[in-house]
Amino acid sequence: MAAKGYLLWIVALALVFLGALVFPYSLLARLNAERVVVSPPFVQALYLAEGGAREAIAAIKADPQNPPYASQPVLVCQTSSPCSTSSSDYIGRYCYSSGTLGGFTCSVTKRTQGGVTRFTIVAVGESRGSIGRVRVVYNQTDDQVESWEVNP
Mean pLDDT per 10-residue interval, the chain, length 152 residues? 72 74 64 60 93 96 92 92 92 94 95 96 95 97 96 72
Whether 26 and 76 map to the same domain: the answer is no
Q: How far is CA 101 from CA 88, 111, 128, in A?
A: 21, 24, 12
pLDDT of residue 111: 96
Whether 69 and 83 map to the same domain: the answer is yes
Whether 31 and 99 map to the same domain: the answer is no
pLDDT of residue 14: 75
> What is the residue range of 34's domain?
1-38
Whether 31 and 44 map to the same domain: the answer is no
Whether 127 and 83 map to the same domain: the answer is yes
Whether 82 and 137 map to the same domain: the answer is yes
pLDDT of residue 151: 84
Whether 48 and 25 map to the same domain: the answer is no
DSSP-derived secondary structure letter, 65: S
The separation between the first and the last C-alpha atoms of the chain, rounded to the nearest angstrom, is 74
| Cα–Cα distance for residue pair 46/28, rounded to 1 Å | 22
Could you read off the pLDDT of 29-48 as tens digits, one per residue? 665 555 555 568 899 999 99
**CB neighbour burial string for 67-82, b if at least 16 within 10 angstroms, e if fewer:** bebeebbbbbbeeeee
Whether 14 and 78 map to the same domain: the answer is no
| Cα–Cα distance for residue pair 49/66, rounded to 1 Å | 22
User: Considering its fold, how many domains does the chain have in total?
Assistant: 2
Return the beta strands (E) in the chain as ranges. 74-77, 90-95, 100-101, 104-105, 107-113, 116-127, 130-139, 144-150
pLDDT of residue 12: 78
Whether 23 and 50 map to the same domain: the answer is no
| Cα–Cα distance for residue pair 118/142, rounded to 1 Å | 9
Whether 142 and 75 map to the same domain: the answer is yes
Whether 34 and 82 map to the same domain: the answer is no
Whether 16 and 29 map to the same domain: the answer is yes
pLDDT of residue 16: 74
